[in-house]
């Protein structure tokens, strides 16, 4: 018996530095309305979907909190929650969260009734705390965000088992396996991936899209799960380009829908949450085949034994 759900990835194009939050939320609502017209039940927005991707700047400490949400929903995001409820669609939203004096890179999963089902705080925070000399655009996530403290959870939602990850998390097999071990059926992951993030960008940037696909396709296949991967992308200022390539991936590791632009774009698919069963009961039958006694080093150490 099928357990189908119609999902959408609402890719968000460039958000310019001065763009008011309210205008961004209007764009998000526009994508949601388009999704609802197509019959989408769960709309997924990317990481930090409400502002320009500010970790490229060395901000004055007085400016930082302007990029963060003190509550969710808050004054500028309430219209998104209200419209979702009217339309009867659920959504996933990534945003910069200010909790007291603690800053996190966060996402929430919201039900069709407009209520928050779950919250996730990004575990793997990339980049640096201090500016790297000579870089035109920085990647200062470690300056602006604390490492997330929620862990990787899976929620019963939308008729299945749904988990969240954020951007850099998708590159780590641990993310997928920890979700996989909880029987995840759908992983939602949003990203902001500058195309200049490699240390030797002149040599490796050509592989950025390949690594994006590789990470999602392997994560899905090895855990028998669907993924909705969604980008905040495009040229946010001259020379600063974030990767697009939003996609929906099946538990067999196949890309079933792929964005073709680096602007606001909706892709969608009807997915059967039962489709991962053959993988979960077959080649990756964890109970039968896993050898956790041989994997202890994974949780006991963070660095390579060789280093
Ligand atoms: N947002 C985010 O995590 N971006 C990273 C860029 C590379 S690290 C400098 C990513 O993994 O896509």
pLDDT in tens, 144-199: 999 999 999 999 999 999 999 999 999 999 999 999 999 999 999 999 999 988 98
Question: What pTM was computed for the model?
Answer: 0.98
Integer Cα distance of 45 and 25 in angstroms: 11
pLDDT computed for residue 232 by the predictor: 98
Q: Are 107 and 148 in contact (CB under 8 A)?
A: no
For the chain, give the number of residues. Answer: 307
Best substitution site from 46, 49, 105, 139 to test ligand 1's pocket, by max atoms within 8 Å of Cβ? 139
| pLDDT score of 307 more than 70 | no
Q: Which residue lies with its CA nearest to atom 11 of ligand 1? A: 168
Average confidence (pLDDT) over 205-222:
98
Question: Is pLDDT at 306 greater than 70 in this prediction?
Answer: no
The rounded mean pLDDT for the chain is 97
Cα 192 to ligand 1 centroid, rounded to whole Å: 6
Supply the residue whose CA is at minimum distance from atom 1 of ligand 1: 192
Residue 180: partners with Cβ closer than 8 Å, 6 or more residues away: 222, 223, 224, 225, 284, 286
Instruction: List domains and CATH numbers for the chain.
Output: 4-300 (3.60.110.10)
Pocket of ligand 1 (CB under 6 A): 47, 126-127, 139, 167-168, 171, 191-193, 197
DSSP state of 239: T
Residue 160, burial from CB neighbour count under 10 angstroms (0-12, 13-18, 19+): buried
Q: Kindly report the protein residue whose alpha carbon is nearest to atom 3 of ligand 1.
A: 168
- Model confidence at 2, pLDDT cuts 50, 70, 90, reads confident
Catalytic residue numbers read 47, 122, 167
Of the candidates 4, 5, 8, the one whose C-alpha atom is nearest the C-alpha of residue 247 is 8
Q: What is the mean pLDDT of residues 109-134?
A: 97
What was the pLDDT predicted at 303? 74
């Amino acid at each position: 018996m099928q357990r189908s759900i119609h999902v959408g990835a609402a890719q968000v194009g460039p958000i310019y530095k001065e763009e008011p939050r309210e205008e961004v939320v209007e764009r998000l609502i526009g994508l949601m309305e388009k999704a609802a017209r197509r019959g989408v039940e769960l709309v997924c927005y990317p990481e930090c979907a409400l502002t320009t991707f500010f970790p490229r700047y060395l901000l004055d400490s007085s400016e930082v909190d302007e990029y963060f949400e003190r509550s969710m929903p808050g004054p500028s995001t309430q219209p998104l929650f209200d419209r979702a409820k009217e339309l009867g669609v659920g959504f996933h939203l990534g945003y910069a969260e200010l909790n007291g004096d603690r800053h996190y890179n966060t996402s929430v999963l919201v039900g069709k009734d407009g209520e928050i089902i779950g919250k996730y705080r990004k575990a793997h925070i990339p980049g640096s705390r201090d500016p790297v000399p000579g870089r035109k655009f920085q990647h200062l996530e470690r300056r602006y965000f604390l490492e997330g403290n929620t862990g990787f959870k899976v929620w019963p939602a939308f008729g299945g088992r749904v988990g969240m990850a954020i951007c850099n998390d998708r590159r780590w097999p641990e993310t997928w396996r920890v979700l996989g071990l909880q029987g995840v059926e759908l992983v939602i992951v949003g990203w902001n991936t500058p195309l200049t993030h490699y240390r030797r960008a002149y040599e490796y940037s050509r592989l950025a899209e390949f690594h994006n696909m590789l990470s999602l396709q392997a994560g899905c296949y090895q855990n028998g799960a669907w993924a909705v991967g969604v980008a905040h992308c495009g040229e946010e200022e001259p020379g600063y380009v974030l990767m697009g390539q939003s996609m929906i991936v099946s538990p067999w590791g196949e890309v079933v829908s792929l964005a073709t632009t680096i602007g606001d774009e909706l892709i969608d698919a009807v997915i059967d949450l039962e489709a991962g069963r053959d993988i979960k009961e077959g080649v990756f039958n964890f109970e039968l085949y896993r050898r956790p006694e041989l994997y202890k080093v994974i949780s006991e150490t963070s660095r390579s034994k060789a280093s």
